[in-house]
């Protein structure tokens, strides 16, 4: 992750990214404050609905008008937001922020990086809170990573159950209660693997190479089309369709038989989704493209 500066805490928590959807507003919002949210998919929508329990939420941008197939460029902030929240990679819709949005004025930047954390270098200093469920690029489910600036930890609400205050976990190095030990152990191994593979620069290069191969083929294909706008495409989750639900189902069935599993898209997008997290090998993308070409030659 590049370097995490000393004035940040790294917390190993439980409850998944979904628990952070409410923990963050619970710790930092009140009925007389407002937070801005960029709504780019169902995960950010869920974050908004949880945050509404604790303060005023302003949707500063949304791409819901086109079923979240793009990253919005026009952002209308509220007057004095406490923080700006965004989802760096939209797992279901196959879109990803290419650049980090700016938090306006004195507000701080919060990022749900569940599905692209450690896929590329991150300038941690631009963020005040980065959180992620471990299960994509970090390790097994059951562990949630939170990187949070210490001044926020100190200033957060004290009127909360002990386990729900960031200061509890920051002051005890995530060992206030029994931490998710197995997940933390595996995370350690994954981080060593990343370091031995060349670090985040190498991850980023590898991920771009894998995704661009597939997008290049999709651009040329007479049968398969990508669903995300060209300037918004994710390097982690590539979503595509044939335009015919029956053909999609047939392709998924054939691909599954050939050992290419898990290609069915989320029901809100349909079609196919190729998830290519850090651990997914380049040869897997080659195999997928070969299967798609074969299917195209039979059905285009
Ligand atoms: N945010 C994003 C971007 C996700 O992809 C997911 C699902 N993996 C979540 C949040 C919810 O994560 P969890 O299951 O850890 O609560």
The model's pLDDT over 34-87, given as tens digits with 9 standing for 90+, comes to 999 999 999 999 999 999 999 999 999 999 999 999 999 999 999 999 999 999
114 CB less than 6 Å from ligand 1? yes
pTM flag (> 0.75): yes
Per the residue annotation, which of 43, 116, 210, 248 is the catalytic one? 43
Percent of the chain scoring above 70 in pLDDT: 99
Ligand 1 midpoint to CA 142 (Å): 11
Concerning whether 136 is annotated as a catalytic residue, the answer is yes
Per the residue annotation, which of 112, 116, 210, 248 is the catalytic one? 112
Residue 262 burial by CB count (10 A; 0-12/13-18/19+): exposed, middle or buried?
exposed
Site to probe by mutation for ligand 1, drawn from 93, 115, 141, 239 as the one with most ligand atoms within 8 Å of Cβ, is 115
Ligand 1 midpoint to CA 120 (Å): 18
User: CB–CB of 57/51 below 8 Å?
Assistant: yes
DSSP letter at 178 equals -
Cα atoms found within 13 Å of the Cα of residue 6, Cβ hemisphere only: 0
- Six token digits for residue 167: 């200061």
The span from the CA of 270 to the CA of 121, in Å, is 31
Ligand 1 midpoint to CA 261 (Å): 20
Which pLDDT band, with edges at 50, 70 and 90, does 290 fall under? very high
Per-residue pLDDT, 3 = 84
Q: What is the pLDDT of residues 211-255, one digit of tens each?
A: 999 999 999 999 999 999 999 999 999 999 999 999 999 999 999
- Between the two ends of the chain, the Cα-to-Cα distance in Å is 43
The answer on pLDDT for 89 being more than 50 is yes
Strand partners, 220: none
Concerning whether 193 is annotated as a catalytic residue, the answer is no
DSSP letter at 188 equals H
19-47: average pLDDT: 98
Concerning whether 102 is annotated as a catalytic residue, the answer is no
Per-residue pLDDT, 1 = 46
User: CB–CB of 226/240 below 8 Å?
Assistant: yes
DSSP letter at 137 equals T
Per-residue pLDDT, 173 = 97
Query: Residue 116: what are its φ and ψ, rounded to 5°?
Result: -140, 10
Query: Nearest-CA neighbor of 45 among 32, 28, 62, 30?
Result: 62
DSSP letter at 238 equals E
253-278: average pLDDT: 96
Q: What is the pLDDT of residues 126-154, one digit of tens each?
A: 999 999 999 999 999 999 999 999 999 99
266-286: average pLDDT: 97
**In ligand 1, which atom is closest to the CA atom of 46?**
10
Per-residue pLDDT, 2 = 53
The span from the CA of 181 to the CA of 38, in Å, is 33
Q: What does the buried/exposed string (b/e) look like for 82-120 if buried means 16 or more CB atoms within 10 Å of the residue's CB?
A: bbbbbbbbbbbbbbbbeeebebbeebbbbbbbbbbbbbb
Per-residue pLDDT, 192 = 97
- Six token digits for residue 33: 């404050």
87-116: average pLDDT: 97
133 CB less than 6 Å from ligand 1? yes
Which pLDDT band, with edges at 50, 70 and 90, does 202 fall under? very high
The answer on pLDDT for 167 being more than 80 is yes
115 CB less than 6 Å from ligand 1? yes
Query: Whose CA is closest to atom 12 on ligand 1?
Result: 17
Query: Nearest-CA neighbor of 156 among 166, 144, 170, 143?
Result: 166
Query: Whose CA is closest to atom 9 on ligand 1?
Result: 17
Please state the separation of Cα 144 from the chain's center in Å. 13
The answer on pLDDT for 103 being more than 80 is yes
The span from the CA of 296 to the CA of 171, in Å, is 57
Query: Whose CA is closest to atom 3 on ligand 1?
Result: 114
């Amino acid at each position: 992750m590049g370097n995490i500066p000393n004035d940040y805490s790294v917390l190993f928590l439980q409850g998944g990214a979904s628990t952070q959807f409410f923990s963050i507003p619970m710790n930092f919002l009140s009925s007389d404050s407002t937070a801005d949210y960029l709504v780019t998919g169902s995960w950010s929508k869920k974050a908004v609905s949880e945050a509404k329990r604790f303060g005023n939420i302003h949707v500063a941008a949304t791409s819901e008008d086109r079923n979240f197939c793009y990253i919005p460029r026009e952002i209308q902030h509220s007057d004095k937001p406490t923080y700006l929240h965004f989802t760096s990679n939209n797992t279901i819709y196959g879109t990803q922020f290419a650049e980090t949005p700016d938090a306006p004025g004195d507000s701080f930047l919060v990022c749900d990086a569940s599905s692209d954390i450690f896929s590329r270098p991150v300038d941690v200093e631009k963020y005040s809170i980065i959180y992620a469920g471990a299960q994509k690029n970090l390790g097994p489910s059951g562990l949630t990573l939170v990187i949070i600036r210490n001044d926020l930890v100190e200033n957060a609400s004290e009127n909360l159950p002990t386990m729900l205050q960031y200061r509890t976990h920051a002051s005890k190095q995530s060992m206030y209660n029994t931490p998710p030990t197995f997940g933390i152990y595996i995370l350690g191994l994954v981080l060593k693997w990343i370091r031995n593979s060349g670090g985040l620069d190498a991850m980023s290069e590898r991920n771009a190479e894998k995704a661009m191969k597939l997008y290049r083929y999709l651009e040329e294909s007479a049968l398969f089309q990508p669903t995300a706008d060209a300037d918004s495409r994710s390097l982690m989750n590539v979503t595509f369709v044939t335009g015919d639900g029956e053909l999609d189902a047939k392709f998924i069935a054939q691909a599954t038989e050939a050992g290419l599993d898990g290609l069915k898209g989320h029901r809100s997008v349909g079609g196919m989704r190729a998830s290519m997290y850090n651990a997914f090998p380049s040869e897997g993308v080659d195999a997928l493209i070969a299967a798609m070409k074969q299917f195209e030659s039979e059905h285009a």
